[in-house]
Structure 1
Amino acid sequence: MQRAQLADFLRSRRAALRPADVGLRPGAGQRRTPGLRRDEVALLSDISTDYYTRLEQRRGPLPSGQVLASMARALRLSDGEREYLFELAGLAAPPRTEGPDEVAPGLRRVLDQLGDVPAMVSDPAGRTLLQTPAARDLLGDETRYTGAARSRVYRWFTDPAARLRTPAADHERHSTTLVAGLAAASVAAGPRSTATALVGELRRRSPEFAEIWATQPVPGAVCPPKRIVHPDLGVVDVRGDNLIDPDRSQILTIFTVESAEGD
Structure 2
Amino acid sequence: MPRRELARFLRARRERLRPQEFGLPAVADRRTPGLRREEVAELAHISVDHYVRLEQARGSRPSARVLDALAHSLRLTQAERSHLFRLAGMSAPPGSSAARQVRPHVAQLLRRLPETAAIVTDAGYGVVSWNPLARELLGGDPGGAANLARRRFLGGGRLHESSGSAEFGDIVVARLRRAADRYPHDPSLAALLAELDAGSEEFRRIWETRPVHAPGHRTKIVDHPVAGELRLNCDVLLVPEDDQEVVLITADPGSRSARRLRGLASRAA
* TM-score interval for Structure 1 and Structure 2 normalised by the shorter chain: 0.5 to 0.7
C-alpha contact (below 8 Å) 1:104/1:245 kept by paired residues: no
Residue 121 of structure 2: aligned partner: 122
Aligned CA RMSD, in angstroms, stands at: 3.5
* Partner AA of 1:109 in structure 2: Q
Superposed structure 1 runs of 4+ greater than 4 Å apart? 78-81, 95-100, 259-263
Residue 204 of structure 2: aligned partner: 210
Residue 18 of structure 1: aligned partner: none
Q: Name the CA distance, whole Å, in 2 between partners of 1:97 and 1:185.
A: 9
**Distance apart, 1:224 and its partner CA:** 3.1
Residue 195 of structure 2: aligned partner: 201
How does 1:111-150 map onto structure 2 within 5 Å? 111-144=110-143, 146=145, 150=146
Residue 180 of structure 1: aligned partner: 174
C-alpha contact (below 8 Å) 1:128/1:143 kept by paired residues: no
1:158 to 131, 154, 159: 154
Identity among equivalent positions (%) equals 25
1:245 to 230, 239, 244: 239
Q: Name the CA distance, whole Å, in 2 between partners of 1:161 and 1:119.
A: 18
C-alpha contact (below 8 Å) 1:116/1:133 kept by paired residues: no
C-alpha contact (below 8 Å) 2:118/2:248 kept by paired residues: yes
Change (3 A) 1:108 1:230: same
Residue 106 of structure 1: aligned partner: 105
Aligned residues: 173
C-alpha contact (below 8 Å) 1:227/1:237 kept by paired residues: yes
Q: Name the CA distance, whole Å, in 2 between partners of 1:154 and 1:223.
A: 23
**Distance apart, 1:256 and its partner CA:** 1.0
Where structure 2 has 5 or more consecutive residues not aligned to the other structure, the ranges are: 1-15, 18-76, 81-94, 261-269
**Distance apart, 1:257 and its partner CA:** 1.9
* Partner AA of 1:166 in structure 2: E
Which has more radius of gyration?
A: 2
Q: Name the CA distance, whole Å, in 2 between partners of 1:183 and 1:214.
A: 10
TM-score scaled by structure 2?
A: 0.53
Change (3 A) 1:128 1:244: same
Change (3 A) 1:161 1:192: closer
**Distance apart, 1:193 and its partner CA:** 5.5
TM-score scaled by structure 1?
A: 0.54
Where structure 1 has 5 or more consecutive residues not aligned to the other structure, the ranges are: 7-77, 82-94
Q: Name the CA distance, whole Å, in 2 between partners of 1:123 and 1:139.
A: 17
Q: Name the CA distance, whole Å, in 2 between partners of 1:121 and 1:257.
A: 19
